[in-house]
Amino acid sequence: MSERTAKYNSEEIAGIRRSCAAAASILQELVAYAKPGVNPLQIDEIARARIRDAGVEPAFLGYEHFPAVLCTSVNNIVVHGVPNEHPFRDGDLLGLDFGVVLDGWYSDVAVTIPIGRVGTETQRLLDVTREALDFGIAQAKPGNRVGDISAAIQRHVEAASFQVIRELVGHGVGRQLHEPPQIPNFGKPGTGPELTEGMVIAIEPITSLSSPHVRLAADGFSYETTDGSLAAHFEHTIVITSRGSQILTAVDT
Ligand code: MG
């Protein structure tokens, strides 16, 4: 695998677009099942069924030995949570991260949702992190650099007195799940690789209420905040176009 950032042509982007549409559509359906009393393994089972129905393959199953098709990250688990049998409780935060492979093309998309009713501060973390994704995407255009995306995300999150996680980054995506360049959620405008038409990247602000750092949890897959604080994560796969960018994992609601 080359370390060079891939630039995709229109036919290739059409393939990635189909993969992204399938992933986003399945994820949207999974969100509707996440309720108090349901457990993460049940959501993973539904995801497996929808993958079969759609005629696609899971992108995460087996990736670095990950045992599920879906990451379910609850509360202080930041990303890469392994689906288990612990039922969701009212007030939990649930991160769902999902991707598929279609005709060899990868997709990657994530949301964080409240289970039942969450507190005001928790809801604000969700709102700010989702807004940070929008601000990051707004900087994704030809001539800008990766640091413009990173800085926009960091500025919005820190203005709300929350933290961006330093150890986890966005990435290129297409022929592989993770390709260059890395897209950190902190940085300086005008620095880093230049963004050019045809690049496909996953932008994913990953935040917490109070800790900028994570550590690997006991299961060997999931990352948890070092201070136990709640975390949020939103992600879209986008393509850089001649005029700006287009979100490939958007869903009609
Ligand atoms: Mg990703």
Q: Provide the token pair at 252.
A: 């009609």
For residue 97, say whether it is annotated as part of any ligand binding site: yes
**How far apart are alpha carbons 207 and 250 in whole angstroms?**
21
Dihedral of CA 218/122/169/21: which sign? positive
Compute the distance from residue 13 Cα to the ligand 1 centre, in Å.
18
The residue among 123, 114, 133, 108 whose CA lies nearest residue 205 is 133
Angle at 134 between CA 130 and CA 135, to 5 degrees: 115
204 is in an annotated binding site: yes
- Non-local (6+) Cβ contacts of 134 within 8 A are none
| CA 121 to ligand 1 centroid distance, Å | 25
Helix (H) or strand (E) holding 40: helix 40-54
Residues 242 and 40: their CA atoms lie apart, in Å, by 40
213 assigned to a ligand binding site: no
Q: How far is the CA of 247 from the centre of ligand 1 (A)?
A: 14
- Ligand 1 centroid to Cα of residue 99, in Å, is 9
Residue 134, annotated as binding a ligand: no
How many A from CA of 76 to the centre of ligand 1?
18
- The predicted pLDDT at position 1 comes to 44
The pocket of ion ligand 1, defined by CB under 5 A, consists of: 108, 202
Task: Give the distance (Å) from ligand 1 centre to CA of residue 150.
Answer: 15
Q: State the angle between helix axes of 120-138 and 146-159 in degrees (0 to 180), rounded to the nearest 10.
A: 160
What is the full per-residue pLDDT of the chain (253 aa) written as tens digits? 446 788 999 999 999 999 999 999 999 999 999 999 999 999 999 999 999 999 999 999 999 999 999 999 999 999 999 999 999 999 999 999 999 999 999 999 999 999 999 999 999 999 999 999 999 999 999 999 999 999 999 999 999 999 999 999 999 999 999 999 999 999 999 999 999 999 999 999 999 999 999 999 999 999 999 999 999 999 999 999 999 999 999 986 5
Q: Give every CB contact of residue 29 below 8 A, 6+ residues apart in sequence.
A: 46, 50
Domain ranges (residues) in the chain = 10-247
Q: Which of 179, 172, 201, 197 is nearest to 9 (CA)?
A: 197
The answer on whether 252 is annotated among ligand-binding residues is no
Output the pTM of the full model.
0.97
- Does 233 carry a binding-site annotation? no
Beta pairing class for 223-225 and 214-216: antiparallel
Contact 38, 47 (CB under 8 A): no
Does the annotation place 80 within a ligand binding site? Answer: yes
Pick the CATH number of 10-247 from 3.40.50.300, 1.20.1250.20, 3.90.230.10, 3.30.360.10: 3.90.230.10
Q: Say how many Å lie between the CA of residue 124 and the centre of ligand 1.
A: 22
Helical H segments across 97-142, by residue range: 120-138
Residue 143 amino acid letter: G
- Could you please report the per-residue DSSP string of 158-192? HHTT-EE-SS--EEE-SSSSSEEEEE-SS--TT-S
**Separation of 221 CA from ligand 1 center, angstroms?**
15
- For the purposes of burial, counting CB atoms within 10 Å of the CB of 97, is it exposed (0-12), middle (13-18) or buried (19 or more)? buried
User: 204 C-alpha to center of ligand 1: Å?
Assistant: 6
* N-term to C-term CA, the chain: 37
Residue 180 Cα to ligand 1 midpoint, Å, equals 12
Side chain identity at residue 125, one-letter code: L
